[in-house]
Structure 1
């Protein structure tokens, strides 16, 4: 939000006028030398014809200027010719009675000669100066601006963002509000010996609002705000990135106090010396220059660096020490209160129906980031507009939530009756296990309508935001993973198994391995960690490192993983065997209604009416010949989807 500049005209129109002026100058230059010759060449005649006219007596008068002869014919027509060194010309004219006179040859002035000779060079120099000036204006786009900073000063006259537009991340906002206060009134903190922080690092998952926070700082601080991406520093030539860092800080010093925002700083701030080869590459040179500029021999007073990343683990330790990035502000995914506030911010510009409740939507969207919630509101508005509605109702928000969580409905999906029935039993098995096993999240929705990459989805949502999982909950989720496969076994037999449960098996295996190797949930292996998630770069590829374990320990790990998986399988089989009638009823209800929520599923397994209008509740999916090879897909947040067998 830097100093206001005087309004300038349209730059495109200005460039057009300059080029038009250059073109007109070229036309005038050419016409200056060509106009006189065109005028005289129109009346030029050969010298031989001139002599014939003299002999005929058709020449009226003549003017001789050097070797140029001009005059008039008897019919008053003018002529011009070039005479060679002819000593008898005067005698011939006198013999024929032609009136003639001599005229001194005109000499061009020194200044005209100088102008004619220098005008082409001046024109070329003018064009070159204009082109070079344009290249220097666009720093980094041409040869002269190759080492210039690409940081742009942000001046938001329209669409200005303030802290009022940032919701759901109150702690991060308070941390940055202090920086804004310091910029507005530094004496308030200086009285007690406080110094302005050098930098603030925003850390959070994608979509949590890091860039939005930076824009809010620009809107609140009312100081110059430069923004640049980490990738803008890196070029194929060594030293260019360092030059751009120097130029960026020079611009910032001229506008201090100011804020410089570097988005995705991990592109340039990765740990030095990782992998093989020497470290004297372009990225490390750029990082070294950035470290020196932030806290080196020369102090950069009044310049605050705000950076954002979702990979803080790969950043160089020298970048994170106090004196450079003094503060690491964590921008987490919002809780239910934060989600409600974020929804209310995005709903301000959307006309809502009276039945819309932001609290209810927030409860049904655990794990959503700010970007996810913005997308949810936008999808609901698009659905309402597609239906020709003037207000966005709760029904559109529910449909939008299903679309964001589980994918769009694939209404044109072609399935046979047998495939649809198998999908219904598979999803009914997942749902029944989640209703009977203690520790499972409440059943939210189960559907056999193809969505995204899945032929059907069973969706479980926690009652409140969860920040950790107990061993009981993880074992319940293992049983839930096998509910679909075992339901198909009980109905169709072991020989009818297909590849549709491959994703269930993968989830169960990964979870059991994490329980054994990371969470210390195995009594035989104890509270030890056998996995290291850190990555290192090896010849440009990321390679996961694992701690070396003995063959005996590795065998024991495999045994414990198998034990956890088999316990989950046994639990699921016991539940479905004891409640086989409920499995049939739930599968039949899914075949009839295709989508059931948690309460409707509970009524269906009891044989009760689900309380839905028969005429309006039935939804059709196109059924017919054909198949699919879509792999099984688990949706984030607890969804299990039944996929078609691969190669079917």
Structure 2
């Protein structure tokens, strides 16, 4: 914007300078009335006069004999020159200077030209600055990346070895096609990178660009779609024309679901802009004309909405899954992001990787960045283990709100709520170990109980799920058995327990009464970003029986948790009192508090606790966030499973 304004200012100044060059003015003097001028001429006081058109400038002597300049406009008087000569005035006559035709046209048309230039400028802005301005509206916006453009190699990509192997094979195909074609193999037309957000699909594509010794074009799926029908299709054609000229090459389309959604879903029918663009993409990838040497690499985290014609062999021949990293992958990713971070000797990368199950590559990058910022906040020279623990808690649960004023009664309620979760988890053999419990408010929560699995879980048995329901019930029971009250803090516990029990009965076949059958249909809710189960196509009697079985499953585990707390009531008091006094307890402090010993009082800035969110499968490592600070409605801030 600034450059364009500066350009027009320079153009205006240039035109003004040219005008001044062709219209050099006479030397100006003091303005004088014509009558005074005639009087001074008749008195012989005028010394010199220069005449140009109806204007006269010159010098005269005043009454004191001093020379002064004058400037006067005269009427059309043919005798003026003779009168001046008669008074012995030195007369000079200037010819009329003709302004060049081009300059006169520019001067007269300058306002109109300025309006046209402003209109063109705003039209270019509306078009997104496409190539060629107004004439390049249908041109492709694909950018050709060179070797020096943000070079990323496979050494910068970790945690997805299988995906790297797939794309490495494509790069080798481009470098040495004879290695594969001698056995009848054909170069793949397209490769689709699929995975949850933040797993490194775009980073992997950048690594392909860094490793490939062929031209690499990059474009976003949203760059094809415009408000005018046919523009997207024109840009697809232009993109493939550019790619053919540079073949063999790679074209990367990020977020392809922006233009590759299932056809027929729009209200415009076949004339819908997105469908026109998709149709052209299908034709270019595998249509009548061949596109040998052009490989299309695309990325999306929504493969379920893509058109089936786009996913068939011959178009996207390979679908490369980029999943969330496992334990080894998280360790490798952390090492990549820790290269530029000075680490203290007490930072254990393996322990940190073990404590972050379910984190994606972007989550781990954010974790390292938050740890570095926390270390800088306290003017440390190196990032310590405590910084990573603080960053982990902040990423998972939000910033501490120590300034929040909480009454002693609410603090006591929160302490027994979290102590109930913790004690039940301690005495269930299939439960994940408790690694931290705190009653320090974070976000909208007043307390947390953190569990971390010993290893990544990819499958869950029935006893583990039953134990999870019992742990969820422990919070309400801790309040009810000791304080004799019920608060809204357990509302989310009940919600998650009910959903888990219903899935066990209707989806996972873990009920003897209902048998190994699936009741209801799983549907994806795009606005919720997750799948939900709808009990459709089942009779009222079956639905009633499901409700009875689910209720019995929850009540049995509620009674089991109640027996544990009643049997170990003294430890419940010890644990709650320790939380009220010290606010945060780690694994060691929890065990010491349950034995009646004084906790080690490890400050949270030096805490060695670790935890993390879940792997993609449900359920897994859970973070129970205790009571909400919104007392006027049931709490929805108790986050159970974090995926």
TM tier, shorter chain? Answer: 0.7 to 0.9
**Partner of residue 451, structure 1:** 442
CA distance in 2, matches of 1:548, 1:328: 34
Q: 1:641 to 1:191 in 2, by over 3 A?
A: same
Q: Which whole-Å CA distance do the structure 2 matches of 1:364 and 1:203 have between them?
A: 26
Q: 1:311-322 counterparts in 2 under 5 A? A: 311-322=302-313
Change (3 A) 1:507 1:35: same
Residues 220, 255 of structure 2: 8 Å contact kept? yes
Partner of 2:218 in structure 1?
A: 227
Task: Tell me: CA distance 1:114–1:565, structure 2 relative to 1, closer, same or farther (3 Å).
Answer: same
Kindly indicate whether the alpha-carbon contact (under 8 Å) linking 1:138 and 1:145 is maintained by their aligned counterparts in 2. no
1:216 aligns with 2:216: no
Structure-2 residue corresponding to 1:193: 184
Note if contact 2:430-2:463 (Cα within 8 Å) is conserved in structure 1: yes
Distance, in Å, in 2 between the alignment partners of 1:72 and 1:395 is 90
- Asked if 2 retains the 8 angstrom alpha-carbon contact of 1:594 and 1:618, the reply is no
Contact conserved, 1:445 with 1:598, CA < 8 A, in 2?
Answer: yes
The aligned residue for residue 366 of structure 2 is 375
Match status 1:354 vs 2:338: no
Match of 2:579 in 1: 590
1:365 to 356, 366, 389: 356
1:246-285 alignment runs, 5 A limit? 246-274=237-265, 278=269, 280-285=271-276
Provide closer, same or farther for how the CA distance between residues 30 and 101 of structure 1 changes in structure 2, counting only shifts above 3 A.
closer
- Paired residues for 1:416-427 under 5 Å: 416-427=407-418
Moved more, 118-127 or 202-211: 118-127
Q: For residue 392 of structure 1, what is the aligned residue in structure 2?
A: 383
Q: CA deviation at 1:25?
A: 1.9
Q: What stretches of structure 2 of length at least 5 have no aligned partner?
A: 606-617, 633-643
How far, CA to CA, are the matches of 1:63 and 1:424 in structure 2?
103
Using the TM superposition, give the Cα deviation of residue 537 of structure 1 relative to its aligned residue in structure 2, in angstroms.
8.3
Among 489, 492, 498, the residue aligned to 1:500: 489
Structure 1 window deviating more from structure 2 (527-536 vs 195-204): it is: 527-536
Deviations 1:232-265 (A, max 9, x none): 3233333332233233333333333322222222
Within 2, Cα distance between the matches of 1:272 and 1:90?
89
**1:469-548 superposed matches below 5 A:** 469-493=460-484, 496-535=485-524, 547-548=536-537
Tell me how far apart the structure 2 counterparts of residues 275 and 133 of structure 1 sit (CA, whole Å).
Answer: 33
Mapped to 1, the partners of 2:443 and 2:228 lie a distance apart of 44
Residues 535 and 57 of structure 1, relative CA distance in 2, 3 Å threshold: same
Partner residue, 1:570: 559
What's the TM-score once normalised by structure 2's chain length?
A: 0.83
Match for residue 579 of structure 1 among 564, 568, 571:
568
Question: Partners of 1:544 and 1:232 in 2: how far apart?
Answer: 36
- The offset of 1:531, in angstroms, is 3.0
Change (3 A) 1:44 1:532: same
* Partner SS state of residue 350, structure 1: coil
1:555 aligned to 2:544? yes
Residue 429 (str. 1) matches residue 420 (str. 2): yes
Measured in 1, the distance between the counterparts of 2:268 and 2:119 equals: 41
Query: How do 1:196-207 residues align onto structure 2 when only pairs under 5 Å count?
Result: 196-207=187-198
1:105-184 → structure 2 map (5 Å cutoff): 113-118=100-105, 120=107, 135=124, 138-139=129-130, 143-155=134-146, 157=148, 159-184=150-175
Q: CA deviation at 1:466?
A: 0.9
User: What is the aligned length?
Assistant: 608
Deviates more, 1:144-153 or 1:72-81: 72-81
Taking structure 1 as reference, are residues 57 and 217 closer, same or farther at Cα in structure 2, changes over 3 Å only? same
Structure 1 gaps, min length 5: 1-10, 620-633
Question: Is the contact made by 1:63 and 1:71 (CA closer than 8 Å) also made in structure 2?
Answer: yes
Q: What is the match of residue 631 of structure 2? A: 647
Aligned residue for 1:349, secondary structure, equals coil
**Structure 1 residues 150-201: Cα deviation after superposition (integer angstroms, max 9, x where no partner):** 3333346364210001111111111111122222223332333322222111
- 208-217 or 444-453, which deviates more: 444-453
Relative to structure 1, the CA distance from residue 298 to residue 42 in structure 2 (aligned partners, 3 Å threshold; closer, same or farther) is farther
Aligned to 1:308, what secondary structure does the other structure show?
A: strand
Distance in 2 of aligned mates of 1:66 and 1:366: 92
- CA contact 1:406–1:635 (8 Å) conserved in 2: no
| Residues 426 and 93 of structure 1: CA distance in aligned 2, closer, same or farther (over 3 Å) | closer
Moved more, 187-196 or 16-25: 16-25
Whether the 8 Å CA contact 1:166–1:212 is kept in 2: the answer is yes
Whole-angstrom CA distance in 2 between matches of 1:544 and 1:235: 36
Please, what TM-score do these two structures have when normalized by structure 1?
0.83
Which segment drifts farther, 144-153 or 380-389?
144-153
The DSSP-based 3-state class of the residue aligned with 2:24 is helix
Could you say if the C-alpha distance between residues 372 and 148 of structure 1 is closer, same or farther in structure 2, counting changes exceeding 3 Å? Answer: same
Match of 1:328 in 2: 319
How far apart in 1 are the matches of 2:52 and 2:149? 73
* Paired position in structure 2 for 1:626: none
Contact 1:434-1:443 at 8 Å conserved across structures: yes
What's the CA shift string for 1:267-313, capped at 9, x where partnerless? 22121223777453222222222222222222222222221111111
Residue 602 of structure 1 aligns to a residue in which SS? helix
Query: Which region of structure 1 is more displaced relative to structure 2, 253-262 or 458-467?
Result: 253-262
Aligned partner of 1:638 among 607, 610, 622: 622
Equivalent residue for 1:31?
20
The alignment partner of 2:562 has SS state of helix
C-alpha separation in 1, matches of 2:102 and 2:391: 74
Q: Which among 408, 432, 440 is matched to residue 441 of structure 1?
A: 432
| 1:102–1:578 distance in 2 versus 1, CA, 3 Å | closer
